[in-house]
Structure 1
Amino acid sequence: MLFSMDFACYGSDKTQEYMKLVIGIVDEAGRANVSDLFPVLSFLDLQGVRARMRGYLRKLYKSFDDIMEERLRFRSLNKESKDYNDVLDSFLDLMQDGTSQLSRDDILHLFIDLFLAGVDTTSSTLEWAMAELMRNPKKMVKARTELQQVLDKSTLKLEESMVSKLPFLQAVIKETLRLHPPVPFLIPHKAICDVELCGFLVPKNSQILANVWAMGRDPSIWENPNSFIPERFLENEIDFKANDFNFIPFGAGRRMCPGLPLASRILSFMLASLLYHFDWKVPDGLKAEDMDMSQRYGLTMHKAQPLRAIPVKM
């Protein structure tokens, strides 16, 4: 979508490099750092976090800069061609027509933000959704049955436009995000003045973290909070807009995640594709209910043990 490139060729050294860069950046961003507790020591970089992060970001920046340079050469040689119509082309059009103040450096940093924010969170959520469905085979059957009912019987082809007709599948995504929010503490906010919340004084300039992981498992909000029950989102019209603030995996208000519309649609379509094209089973004779569902905490929340699932052609 960003560059008209396939980043999922697992035999490619370039793909592996991108994966290592993303994992490295996310791990360093979520690492406990003494400089966060004692800012006066930050210039020392005692744990080397800043140096490693700078190295990862420099490599990612250089890689995206090479992609942009190659595209600019292509555009200069093929001025009438419309082979690409992606996000990069859109920003290059803005940069070159003189109506925008965006510089090349601005665009490259924006792509880093988009790439990091979209890749790791989406893949981890999809992994959790598949893991929960495999542990709850009746839910998987229910989702697949819904797919078969909605599918165009004449073409037997799954289209992205069908996502809106799959309420149970969308409920599966919401329930996954409730139990396993990809960013468990959301993005930090800062109090711009002294404010009292629920009897507690939050001093000016305090950093505030919203623990959406704890909210999603709060028994005062959710019935059977630790159980995977997508039906709860069919019984109550709870969406991502955070109207009652019970369910805010994308944040809320003016600062909520701008990728919400894309993420919710793409997640649903990817999960639908996996369920439609394959049946799934756990490997090595492992019982589904015995799957390891422990979590590895950081800036983003991954399964401690990556999901292993065997696809069986339908």
Structure 2
Amino acid sequence: MLIHFGFVPLVVITSKEAAEEVLRTHDLDCCSRPKLVGTRLLSRDFKDVGFTPYGEEWKERRKFADFHESKFIDKEEIEELVFEAETALASFTCSDFFPVAGLGWLVDWFSGQHKRLNDVYLKLDTLFQLVIDDHMNPGRTKDHEDIIDAMLDVIHKQGKNDSLKLTVDHIKGFLANIFLAGIDTGAITMIWAMTELAKKPKLMKKVQDEIRDCLGNNKETITEEDVDKVPYLKLVIKETFRLHPAAPLILPRETMSHMKVQGYDILPKTRILVNTWAIGRDPKLWTEPEEFNPERFIDSHVDYRGQHYELLPFGSGRRMCPGMPMGIATVELGLLNLLYFFDWRVPEGMTHKDIDTEEAGTLTTVKKVPLKLVPVRAM
């Protein structure tokens, strides 16, 4: 669907066929990012990976990010700050659509949108600076090197002719990507998976029986090797990605040249949004699309790693999510621990039929009413 919003042409993709044309056939033509007010601010003037327009600098940073992934933050009030940052980024910014003569900036200033963005920026900047200062402390003890250590090491050793140029602002841009895309998305996916399993006790029992039969009853810890022994759990996760993608819209792309999609002319500087939520519920692609049914993927070739355009939780092509391996591992290990060590009951006075699946959110789609389950030690 092609629409004009203000002075900016915008294409919204809601079909598998169009998504495949955009993300595979025309991947190179539209793998840039629009320069938006919020993303410019939080990425330190596009010194990150996720929001940076396509080019040689982005390529070097992406290579670096692929080899240095970490989950490093463990502080109070992080969840609240993530929500605040996502809400600010998802809020309508007139400057992005009405840049002429500063009209959009004035509207954003009077509406308070610029203040909200700057408040979030300052909070994130303070947090990131504390983390960087901690990593630069000579007396700091560490048992492993994370992405901040690696980037600081590059900064200290880089020469004039190095292809990858990094500054402290680049570190903060990377951290903004990890913070906004890697903190809550895995938790959101696990919550939706547990929600659907709790709504269907027979399905919950089936996946738990498989896990405990395959792993035995005497394990004290779960390892990554255990994940490959439980294929039905992988089907549950795949179905969760389909029905409840954590991010319903892939980060916007921007075309760099003229192209055709399903016969329509798409001009340069057009923003493209791919609606993975709509594609995952398309009745032309899925039987009973609103039904949570992991068994639909038995003997199915469809996967979520960017090669099948009916299932795109991590996107596809050059701008596919670089945190996919970490995200998948987080969800697989998290759910495996929850389902192996505990049985789950609804609170007293409720039944599984009382669990709802109403959605809410902005950049991410969360469960509107928090899921409440009672853990019972299984063994």
Distance 1:311 1:214 in 2: 33
Instruction: Give CA deviations for 1:102-161 in whole Å, capped at 9, x if unaligned.
Output: 112211221121121101211211111111110112221121122112326664532122
Distance 1:294 1:170 in 2: 24
> Residue 159 of structure 1 is aligned with which of 212, 223, 227?
223
**What's 2:88 paired with?**
28
Mapped contact 2:86–2:363 kept (Cα < 8 A): yes
**Superposition CA RMSD, Å:** 2.1
Mapped contact 1:4–1:84 kept (Cα < 8 A): no
Mapped contact 1:95–1:103 kept (Cα < 8 A): yes
- 1:242 counterpart SS class: coil
Mapped contact 2:227–2:333 kept (Cα < 8 A): yes
> How many equivalent residue pairs?
302
**What's 1:12 paired with?**
none
Instruction: Give CA deviations for 1:11-69 in whole Å, capped at 9, x if unaligned.
Output: xxxx12x2221110111222244444434433121422232122112211211211221
Please say if 1:6 is aligned against 2:6: no
> Residue 165 of structure 2 is aligned with which of 101, 105, 113?
101
**What's 1:43 paired with?**
105
Please say if 1:190 is aligned against 2:254: yes
Letter paired with 1:89: D
Please say if 1:291 is aligned against 2:355: yes
Mapped contact 1:163–1:269 kept (Cα < 8 A): yes
> What runs of 5+ residues in structure 1 fail to find an aligned partner?
8-14
Q: Which moved more, 1:288-297 or 1:38-47?
A: 38-47
Q: How does 1:80-91 map to 2 (within 5 A)?
A: 82-91=142-151
TM-score of the pair, normalised by structure 2? 0.74
> What runs of 5+ residues in structure 2 fail to find an aligned partner?
1-68
Deviation at 1:82, TM superposition (A): 4.9
Deviation at 1:212, TM superposition (A): 0.7
Please say if 1:266 is aligned against 2:334: no
**What's 1:10 paired with?**
none
**What's 2:14 paired with?**
none
Please say if 1:202 is aligned against 2:295: no
Q: How does 1:71-82 map to 2 (within 5 A)?
A: 71-73=135-137, 76-77=138-139, 82=142
Percent identity over the alignment?
35
For residues 30 and 138 of structure 1, do their structure 2 counterparts lie closer, same or farther at Cα, with a shift above 3 Å needed?
same
Distance 1:82 1:23 in 2: 30
Deviation at 1:305, TM superposition (A): 1.1
Distance 1:109 1:231 in 2: 40
For residues 20 and 71 of structure 1, do their structure 2 counterparts lie closer, same or farther at Cα, with a shift above 3 Å needed?
same
> Residue 136 of structure 1 is aligned with which of 200, 204, 215?
200
Distance 2:93 2:189 in 1: 26
> Residue 69 of structure 1 is aligned with which of 123, 129, 133?
133
Q: Which moved more, 1:123-132 or 1:154-163?
A: 154-163
Instruction: Give CA deviations for 1:194-224 in whole Å, capped at 9, x if unaligned.
Output: 3332233333322111111110011110111
Mapped contact 1:61–1:112 kept (Cα < 8 A): no
**What's 2:236 paired with?**
172
For residues 92 and 61 of structure 1, do their structure 2 counterparts lie closer, same or farther at Cα, with a shift above 3 Å needed?
same
Distance 2:134 2:156 in 1: 15
For residues 194 and 85 of structure 1, do their structure 2 counterparts lie closer, same or farther at Cα, with a shift above 3 Å needed?
closer
For residues 310 and 155 of structure 1, do their structure 2 counterparts lie closer, same or farther at Cα, with a shift above 3 Å needed?
closer
**What's 1:11 paired with?**
none
For residues 152 and 88 of structure 1, do their structure 2 counterparts lie closer, same or farther at Cα, with a shift above 3 Å needed?
farther
- 1:311 counterpart SS class: strand
Distance 1:276 1:295 in 2: 27
Mapped contact 1:184–1:300 kept (Cα < 8 A): yes
Letter paired with 1:42: G
Distance 2:71 2:187 in 1: 18
Distance 2:283 2:71 in 1: 44
TM-score of the pair, normalised by structure 1? 0.88
Mapped contact 1:184–1:212 kept (Cα < 8 A): yes
Distance 2:185 2:71 in 1: 19
Mapped contact 2:256–2:269 kept (Cα < 8 A): yes
